[in-house]
């Protein structure tokens, strides 16, 4: 039985004071949550958010990292640095990074492996653009992205990752995937994991859906058999809407 994970991606929003205030409010509303809760603040507030979340069920993720252990990479942050400040998870290969920072399938795969090597749980993102969907290429694109990640890992390593399926056309647009569209891709990804690393790995691994998840659509999405949680942007920036997602069973 896979536990659901509701993860908030705060992107490039919130000062340290705002980030701490948000996590404090989230903590107050967690009682009775049916699944796990995670927030991904910007690098600058990781230390403060980890301290504020300490002793609570809120896990803290970074939104990116470099795949090298250290070196002359100005402006970058290493896996060990994230671990050092108490981060437990890291979001990798978000479509905004693929689109605006030229991240490649190969780079995302290397980062996923490097995160595991450092003891972090990677939340590795995949998903097709609108033109790829309209051209009937959704499964080809998702297979290419997922395979790149899976082929960099052993079955034991693969069992420790989280995959987020985020159709690019649904991110920040208010256009959520229909339950049928989400379930179809999630089931496909799970089959693919099973084909590469064995069925038990496919069955154990959590696959999150991301793309305009809101309080009014979360319950239906979470009821889908292969959707194991949500990666949320906009609705994670305010405690009241994020807590409604965390309590998806009551919406």
Cβ-defined contacts of 188-192 (< 8 Å, 24+)? 188/139, 188/142, 188/143, 189/126, 189/142, 189/146, 189/163, 189/165, 189/226, 190/226, 192/143, 192/146, 192/147, 192/150
Listed residue (248, 157, 251) closest to 208, CA to CA: 248
Binding residue (CB under 6 A) for ligand PEP from 39, 161, 213, 227:
213
Under the binding rule (CB under 6 A), the answer on residue 124 touching ligand PEP is: no
Under the binding rule (CB under 6 A), the answer on residue 9 touching ligand PEP is: yes
* Other beta carbons within 10 Å of 221: 24
Show the DSSP H helices in the chain as ranges. 16-28, 46-53, 79-84, 95-100, 105-117, 130-134, 138-150, 155-158, 179-197, 199-204, 218-222, 239-246
Complex with ligand PEP: residue 89 or 197, whichever CB lies closer: 89
Contact 139/188 with Cβ under 8 angstroms? yes
Number of amino acids touching ligand PEP (CB under 6 A): 13
Q: How far apart are the C-alpha atoms of 62 and 46, rounded to whole Å?
A: 7
Binding residue (CB under 6 A) for ligand PEP from 212, 227, 229, 242:
212
Under the binding rule (CB under 6 A), the answer on residue 171 touching ligand PEP is: yes
Least CB distance from residue 235 to ligand PEP, whole Å? 6
Least CB distance from residue 1 to ligand PEP, whole Å? 25
Q: State the virtual CA torsion across 106, 110, 112, 114 in degrees, nearest 10.
A: -170
Least CB distance from residue 100 to ligand PEP, whole Å? 13
Under the binding rule (CB under 6 A), the answer on residue 211 touching ligand PEP is: yes
Under the binding rule (CB under 6 A), the answer on residue 42 touching ligand PEP is: no
Under the binding rule (CB under 6 A), the answer on residue 108 touching ligand PEP is: no
Q: Which sign, positive or negative, has the C-alpha torsion 175, 179, 182, 185? A: negative
Applying CB under 6 A, which part among 44-52, 72-80, 166-174, 182-190 lies near ligand PEP?
166-174
Binding residue (CB under 6 A) for ligand PEP from 177, 231, 239, 243:
231
CA distances from 76 to 24, 65, 72, 204 (A): 28, 7, 9, 32
Least CB distance from residue 194 to ligand PEP, whole Å? 25
Residue with CB nearest ligand PEP? 233
Contact 210/163 with Cβ under 8 angstroms? no
Least CB distance from residue 170 to ligand PEP, whole Å? 6
Least CB distance from residue 54 to ligand PEP, whole Å? 25
Binding residue (CB under 6 A) for ligand PEP from 35, 109, 233, 248:
233
User: Which residues are part of the catalytic machinery?
Assistant: 94, 166
Binding residue (CB under 6 A) for ligand PEP from 207, 232, 239, 246:
232
Site residues for ligand PEP per CB under 6 A: 9, 166, 171-172, 210-213, 231-235
């Amino acid at each position: 039985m896979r536990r659901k994970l509701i993860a908030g991606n705060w992107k490039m929003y919130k000062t340290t004071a705002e980030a701490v205030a948000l996590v404090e409010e989230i903590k107050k509303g967690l009682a009775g949550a049916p699944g796990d809760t995670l927030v991904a603040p910007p690098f600058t507030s990781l230390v403060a958010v980890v301290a504020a979340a300490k002793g609570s069920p809120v896990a803290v993720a970074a939104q990116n990292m470099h795949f090298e252990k250290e070196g002359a990479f100005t402006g970058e942050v290493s896996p060990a640095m994230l671990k050092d400040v108490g981060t437990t998870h890291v979001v990798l290969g978000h479509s905004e990074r693929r689109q605006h920072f030229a991240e490649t399938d190969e780079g995302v795969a290397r980062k996923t492996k490097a995160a595991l090597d450092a003891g972090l749980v990677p939340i590795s993102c995949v998903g097709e653009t609108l033109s790829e969907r309209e051209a009937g290429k959704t499964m080809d694109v998702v297979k290419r992205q997922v395979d790149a990640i899976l082929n960099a890992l052993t079955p034991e390593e693969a069992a420790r990752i989280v995959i987020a399926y985020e159709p690019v056309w649904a991110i920040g647009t208010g256009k959520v995937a229909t339950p049928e569209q989400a379930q179809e891709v999630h089931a496909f990804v799970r089959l693919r994991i099973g084909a590469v690393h064995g069925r038990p790995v496919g069955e154990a691994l959590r696959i999150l859906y991301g793309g305009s998840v809101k309080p009014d659509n979360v319950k239906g999405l979470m009821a889908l058999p292969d959707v194991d949680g949500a990666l949320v942007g906009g609705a994670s920036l305010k405690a009241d809407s994020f807590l409604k997602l965390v309590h998806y069973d009551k919406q």
